[in-house]
A and B are shown apart, each in its own frame.
Chain A
């Protein structure tokens, strides 16, 4: 059982509780949450504002600490790690796509993509790099600076950056939140491809049922708890469930 867990689970959170503030100002962002994220799956986390979905993502990704409970990436428990070990773990095993400000303005698109590898001073797997670039469709924009790219292109570069080091898991926080529908569609298509064709694992936080429709599984959050789950969802099914949950 344990061995299969390690093989198939890319990340998990166990009895995770996160409390901000104290006394009357206390906010329970996560309330005893336990979720697993399988390898090779595209999972969406949904929920209304304040449901704790971003907090969940940050805690699993090692950007924030739980008040109590445990989170794992692979079989590494994050709570016990110091800043340096956490940083190295993020560098080696985690990819990120944020809603905004994903790229370093002084670096070209290609430099931004290889940034995690360059920071780690690791060699670039050229075949993999080429494959990622082809999938993303940015072959001709590699030497451009971020300011010379459209919003959609910027997010695709960010996605490519998340992929290039072949992390165990990629966390995306509202990646299409700032994009028009066409660009959003392109980005999400690419993310889905990364999972189906390239075998990557993605966990995405979104409040957009359309975006969540690209995923294999949707986890619904409300008031810091897991309140439901949908497998192989359609946008409509997600939309209905959201309405049920009052989101």
Chain B
């Protein structure tokens, strides 16, 4: 059997090869994800190892908040230096420092951080930074920037650059260029180093350090020294070993990389699922085509289970080879990706790609398991071929009971829908897992049902063809429904891909609709909004507070209302977002729709809650809400009111004054501006732009622009997700190509006859092309149907979050057109082959 199976694989190289590509692509995505994230992971832990390489003791403010740096009084440095066993200690100041390039644009490499640091002479051994060119900054007006940034932005020692910091923006002379360890740049981050006094001034840290690094003299054990240091530290400040801090920092990042990894694996999973359909279909077709061979085996004495085993072994061989190639391809893709990142200026850490045994094991398992499972049903079909099929023309299986199919399909779809609904509307277990599982079962159910409608649907889709292309069109249409089960299985693969992109499109469209509605409703009274163009975590990037201060002084401007962004922790430890507002001006720019209490009451220090959030937390005016802040810890914050306006997309509002005492980051998040009465919009805008000229990372938008901007952010997300889903669509199109090629092979004689009686090659190609298009469109319409229903359900489930259903008609139409064009592409090879059919061979009588 093993020998037979091996011969089977070799005899059907091309057919199985196409199947294998489906597995290769899926496995490549899975293993590529692992290699990519593992490499990132290793790179980051390596990075932190570098940073803390010579740091024995690391002193920092203690906080539960990842995004916050709690400052340490400068006097602590002397206390640390005085500790017995400490050889040398230096304090570090850090903050936001956005370097502006020669064209006046902020330098930002794909959202990488923009660091500002203090440079302490003599502390070189405690930092991975080193001077590559020029000298260290020693006084106000001098800066040292990293070599990588200098090179990409064509800046050199002696140049003057503008740098935006919290307090505003200033010009500095570049006196030196720094390296990071042996590299010129770290992951695209820009690093600006200042002398200590300048740094403290720029970062609003007069008399404060962000951290203190120290080395030991080796006279005592590290743990002893750590104990001694901790003894002299004030409360809220703690010391750990450099190694421990490195571990901590890299594990924080690992969490985020883990999230990225999971997200990528979900997309890989969709691709693998689609691949499974194709493998199933290919094996079914190949077995149908080998009916005589199987029957002959049975006739000469092979048992039914031997036939099954033979097919299973074939599947294992194909799965093994394809998985191995897939893993190699995954590594290759990651390598390409890294090269692309390097080219884009995002310095991906060098060194070998990380290929962990887990990557290989999971890649092989996924590839082989999917192939095996997908081949099981066809393998059992093969076993049911009776020996008599060897001598008669009997086809196997025959039309199965349609009723059975209808019942099975309906039951599956219903079960899927119920699980989906539980995930969406219920509150048991992991909602996302339930939604995924439900969607998967719905896909299966629809796939089972699809053959029932395949014939009719394809006839409707192909209705214009006979008029357009005469008998060529008629043949294309009829060929596409000749094997409804095969057509349906092929189309189903595409259905999954199209359904998922449709759901994403509907979510995006609904989200955009809600953003527009809510922003219009809430900020309809605002003239302009200002936001940082710097991409990044709003808790860390933002607007210099100086902007608001300067704008207030402009006569054309009536109201400047500033907001800040922060994370607080609920009692259960979960992170929640809050917005700090200016109680005296908020209602000039924001329709709060206050239900109870008042916005003005925020001034006394308290929290204003969105009504639903208040209900969830079971608080009302007069009660208190326990909130944990980075600088002050847990506080019982009085609830001063509730509101219904949704425009901030945050359910918790506090006052700016209240915020300032509780957060280290003092950047403004957004500014809302109303121009003064009687001032033309145009001149108001000119006045704003005049102020913003000094702050290159800030941009003013009117309401329409603001909404457009929010929408375009959603579009960017849509594009990224679609790019990740493109693989699933690609695999599905591969499936169409494969099925078509196999069908063409079956119809060799028929094609030969058509060629003999005068069908040109071009007509043959056209016929096959339209068959592919019909199959693709059938899959696309099925996918659209499932996707729209699914998308609608998700939107309804999220209605509480303020989501309203938006139907992206244009986008979905585009998807259908793209699917049709995909069918054309998929038909290229099969139609080429079909048109080359040798007439003589085809009509030769056996």
Which of A94-102, A148-156, A233-241 is found at the contact surface with chain B?
Answer: A94-102
B753 and A102 form a contact (CB under 8 A): yes
Q: Does B432 contact A (CB under 8 A)?
A: no
A101 and B758 form a contact (CB under 8 A): no
A105 to B753, CA, bound (A): 12
* Contacts A111-B471, A119-B470, A174-B845 given; does A104 touch B753 at CB 8 Å: yes
A121 and B843 form a contact (CB under 8 A): no
What total of chain B residues lie within 8 Å of the partner, measured CB to CB? 25
Q: Does B472 contact A (CB under 8 A)?
A: yes
A96 to B843, CA, bound (A): 11
A96 to B755, CA, bound (A): 11
Q: Does B474 contact A (CB under 8 A)?
A: yes
Q: Does B482 contact A (CB under 8 A)?
A: yes
* A-B contacts at CB below 8 angstroms, number: 78
A96 and B757 form a contact (CB under 8 A): yes
User: Which of B463-484 touch A at CB < 8 Å?
Assistant: 470-472, 474-475, 478-479, 482
A90 to B758, CA, bound (A): 5
B475 and A107 form a contact (CB under 8 A): yes
Q: Which residues of A contact B845 (CB under 8 A)?
A: 98-100, 174, 177
Q: Does B109 contact A (CB under 8 A)?
A: no
B843 and A98 form a contact (CB under 8 A): yes
Q: Does B380 contact A (CB under 8 A)?
A: no
Chain B 440-463 interface mask (CB, 8 Å, partner A; 1/0)? 000000000000000000000000
Chain B 754-784 interface mask (CB, 8 Å, partner A; 1/0)? 1111111111000000000000000000000
Q: Does A24 contact B (CB under 8 A)?
A: no
B758 and A116 form a contact (CB under 8 A): yes
A97 CB to nearest chain B CB (Å): 10
Q: Does A87 contact B (CB under 8 A)?
A: yes
Q: Does B840 contact A (CB under 8 A)?
A: yes
Q: Does B750 contact A (CB under 8 A)?
A: yes
Q: Which residues of A contact B749 (CB under 8 A)?
A: 101
Q: Which of A63, A174, A177 contacts B756 (CB 8 A)?
A: A63
B763 and A105 form a contact (CB under 8 A): no
B268 CB to nearest chain A CB (Å): 40
Q: Does B839 contact A (CB under 8 A)?
A: yes
**Chain B residue nearest in CB terms to A95:** B757
Q: Does A19 contact B (CB under 8 A)?
A: no
Q: Which residues of B contact A87 (CB under 8 A)?
A: 755, 758-761
Residue from A63, A87, A96, A103 having most chain B Cβ neighbours under 10 A = A87
A102 to B472, CA, bound (A): 17
Q: Which residues of A contact B761 (CB under 8 A)?
A: 83-84, 87
Q: Which residues of A contact B475 (CB under 8 A)?
A: 104, 106-107
Q: Does A64 contact B (CB under 8 A)?
A: yes
Interface residue range, chain A:
20 to 34
Q: Does A88 contact B (CB under 8 A)?
A: yes
Q: Which of B479, B750, B757, B843 contacts A119 (CB 8 A)?
A: B757
Q: Which of B474, B757, B839 contacts A116 (CB 8 A)?
A: B757
A98 and B753 form a contact (CB under 8 A): yes
A58 and B840 form a contact (CB under 8 A): yes
Q: Which residues of B contact A58 (CB under 8 A)?
A: 840
Q: Which residues of B contact A12 (CB under 8 A)?
A: none
A75 to B762, CA, bound (A): 26
**Chain B residue nearest in CB terms to A177:** B845
* Contacts A64-B840, A107-B478 given; does A120 touch B754 at CB 8 Å: no
Q: Which residues of A contact B750 (CB under 8 A)?
A: 101, 104-105
Q: Which residues of B contact A120 (CB under 8 A)?
A: 758
A100 to B393, CA, bound (A): 14
**Chain A residue nearest in CB terms to B478:** A106
Q: Looking at chain B's contact residues, is the secondary structure mostly helix, strand, loop, or mixed?
A: helix
Q: Which residues of B contact A103 (CB under 8 A)?
A: 753
Q: Does A207 contact B (CB under 8 A)?
A: no
Residue from A63, A64, A102, A111 having most chain B Cβ neighbours under 10 A = A63
Q: Which residues of A contact B839 (CB under 8 A)?
A: 63
Q: Does A91 contact B (CB under 8 A)?
A: yes
User: Which of B715-766 touch A at CB < 8 Å?
Assistant: 749-750, 753-763
A99 to B846, CA, bound (A): 11
B754 CB to nearest chain A CB (Å): 7
A96 and B471 form a contact (CB under 8 A): no
B722 CB to nearest chain A CB (Å): 37
A96 and B474 form a contact (CB under 8 A): no
B569 CB to nearest chain A CB (Å): 68
Q: Does A92 contact B (CB under 8 A)?
A: yes
A95 CB to nearest chain B CB (Å): 8
* Contacts A96-B756, A118-B471, A177-B845 given; does A106 touch B482 at CB 8 Å: yes
A101 to B747, CA, bound (A): 11
B658 CB to nearest chain A CB (Å): 77
B754 and A111 form a contact (CB under 8 A): no
**Chain B residue nearest in CB terms to A61:** B756
Q: Which residues of B contact A107 (CB under 8 A)?
A: 471, 474-475, 478
**Chain A residue nearest in CB terms to B469:** A121
A119 and B471 form a contact (CB under 8 A): yes
**Chain B residue nearest in CB terms to A93:** B758
A102 to B842, CA, bound (A): 11
Chain A 73-91 interface mask (CB, 8 Å, partner B; 1/0)? 0000000000110011011
A115 to B472, CA, bound (A): 10
Residue from B479, B749, B845 having most chain A Cβ neighbours under 10 A = B845
A92 and B758 form a contact (CB under 8 A): yes
B472 CB to nearest chain A CB (Å): 7
B755 and A115 form a contact (CB under 8 A): no
B846 CB to nearest chain A CB (Å): 8
A105 to B478, CA, bound (A): 10
Chain B 92-106 interface mask (CB, 8 Å, partner A; 1/0)? 000000000000000
A95 to B756, CA, bound (A): 9
A204 CB to nearest chain B CB (Å): 15
A104 and B754 form a contact (CB under 8 A): yes
Q: Does A217 contact B (CB under 8 A)?
A: no
Q: Which residues of B contact A174 (CB under 8 A)?
A: 845
Q: Which residues of B contact A121 (CB under 8 A)?
A: 470
**Chain B residue nearest in CB terms to A102:** B753
B692 CB to nearest chain A CB (Å): 67
Q: Which residues of B contact A63 (CB under 8 A)?
A: 756, 839-840, 843
User: Which of B796-846 touch A at CB < 8 Å?
Assistant: 839-840, 843, 845
**Chain A residue nearest in CB terms to B767:** A119
Q: Which residues of B contact A118 (CB under 8 A)?
A: 470-471, 474
Q: Which residues of A contact B753 (CB under 8 A)?
A: 98, 101-104
A69 to B594, CA, bound (A): 99
A111 to B759, CA, bound (A): 15
A88 to B839, CA, bound (A): 15
A90 and B478 form a contact (CB under 8 A): no
**Chain A residue nearest in CB terms to B749:** A101
* Contacts A88-B758, A106-B479 given; does A119 touch B474 at CB 8 Å: no
A101 and B759 form a contact (CB under 8 A): no
* Contacts A111-B471, A119-B472, A121-B470 given; does A90 touch B843 at CB 8 Å: no
Q: Which residues of B contact A173 (CB under 8 A)?
A: 843
**Chain A residue nearest in CB terms to B482:** A106
B743 CB to nearest chain A CB (Å): 12
A193 to B472, CA, bound (A): 32
A23 CB to nearest chain B CB (Å): 22
Q: Does A41 contact B (CB under 8 A)?
A: no
User: Which of B679-723 touch A at CB < 8 Å?
Assistant: none
Q: Which residues of A contact B756 (CB under 8 A)?
A: 63, 90, 96, 98
Beyond A63-B756, A103-B753, 18 extra complex contacts between A and B, CB < 8 Å: A64-B840, A87-B758, A87-B760, A90-B758, A91-B759, A98-B753, A98-B756, A101-B750, A101-B843, A104-B750, A105-B750, A106-B475, A118-B474, A119-B470, A119-B758, A119-B759, A121-B470, A161-B757
20 contacts between A and B (CB under 8 A): A63-B843, A64-B840, A83-B761, A84-B760, A84-B761, A90-B756, A90-B757, A98-B843, A99-B845, A100-B845, A103-B753, A104-B475, A106-B478, A106-B482, A107-B471, A107-B474, A119-B470, A119-B472, A121-B470, A177-B845
Closest 8 CB pairs of A and B: A91-B758, A118-B471, A106-B478, A101-B749, A116-B757, A87-B760, A99-B845, A119-B759
